[in-house]
Amino acid sequence: MKIIGTGSALPEHIVTNEMLAGFLDTSDNWITTRTGIRTRRLLSTETLRELALEAARKAITSSGLRPEDIDYLICSNVANSYVSPSLGSIILGQLGCSCPTFDMNGACAGLVYSLDVADAFLKAKNMKNILVVAAEQPSRFCNWHDRATSVLFGDGAAALVVTQGEGFKDFRLTGNTHTEVMYYKREMQRTPYDRVEEKTEPLVMNGREVFRLAVESCIDDVDTLLERNGMTGDDIDLYLLHQANMRIIECIREHLAQPKEKFPTNIQKYGNTSSASVGILIDELSRAGELKEGQTVMLSTFGGGFVTAAAILEWSDINYAK
Give catalytic residue positions.
108, 242, 272
Residue (23 or 125) nearer to ligand UT7, CB? 23
Alpha-carbon gap, residue 235 to 267, rounded angstroms: 25
- Do residues 37 and 30 make contact, with C-beta atoms less than 8 angstroms apart? no
Q: Are 59 and 161 in contact (CB under 8 A)?
A: yes
| Candidate list 2, 28, 30, 219; residue touching ligand UT7; CB under 6 A | 30
Kindly indicate which of the ranges 54-62, 74-82, 90-98, 209-217 contains the residues binding ligand UT7, using the contact rule CB under 6 A.
Answer: 209-217
Indicate the residue among 35 and 266 with the shorter CB distance to ligand UT7. Answer: 35
Which C-beta is closer to ligand UT7: that of 34 or that of 169? 34
Task: Report which secondary-structure segment, H or E, holds 275.
Answer: none
Contacts with ligand UT7 in 210-239 (CB under 6 A)? 210-211, 214
Instruction: Determine the Cα–Cα distance for residues 133 and 279; give it in Å rounded to an integer.
Output: 9
Torsions phi, psi of 99, nearest 5? Answer: -100, 170
Query: Residue 275 in contact with residue 116, Cβ under 8 Å?
Result: no
Choosing from 115, 151, 225, 298, the residue that interacts with ligand UT7 (CB under 6 A) is 151
**Residue 241 near residue 218 (C-beta atoms within 8 A):** yes
Residue type, 243: Q
Phi, psi for 283 (deg, rounded to 5) = -60, -45
Helices (H), the chain: 17-21, 28-35, 48-63, 87-95, 110-124, 147-150, 207-228, 246-256, 267-270, 276-287
Query: Minimal distance in Å, beta carbon 163 to ligand UT7?
Result: 29
Closest residue to ligand UT7, judged by C-beta, is 207
The reply to whether 40 sits near ligand UT7 by the rule CB under 6 A is: no
- In whole angstroms, how close is the CB of 11 to ligand UT7 at the nearest point? 18
Footprint on residues 94-113 left by ligand UT7 (CB under 6 A) = 108
* Residue (140 or 147) nearer to ligand UT7, CB: 147
For the four alpha carbons of 119, 125, 129 and 133, in that order, the dihedral sign comes to negative
Least separation in angstroms between CB 66 and ligand UT7: 35
Are the C-beta atoms of 31 and 17 separated by less than 8 Å? yes
CB of 97 to ligand UT7, least distance (A): 29
Length of the chain equals: 322
Coil, helix or strand at residue 13: coil
63/273 with CB nearer ligand UT7: 273
Q: Does 252 contact ligand UT7 by CB under 6 A? A: no
Stretch that binds ligand UT7, among 94-102, 169-177, 201-209, 280-288 (CB under 6 A): 201-209
Give residues 108-137 in contact with ligand UT7 (rule: CB under 6 A).
Answer: 108
Binding segment toward ligand UT7, per CB under 6 A, in 60-68, 205-213, 282-290, 314-322: 205-213
Binding site for ligand UT7 (CB under 6 A): 26, 30-31, 34-35, 108, 147-148, 151, 205, 207-208, 210-211, 214, 244-245, 272, 303
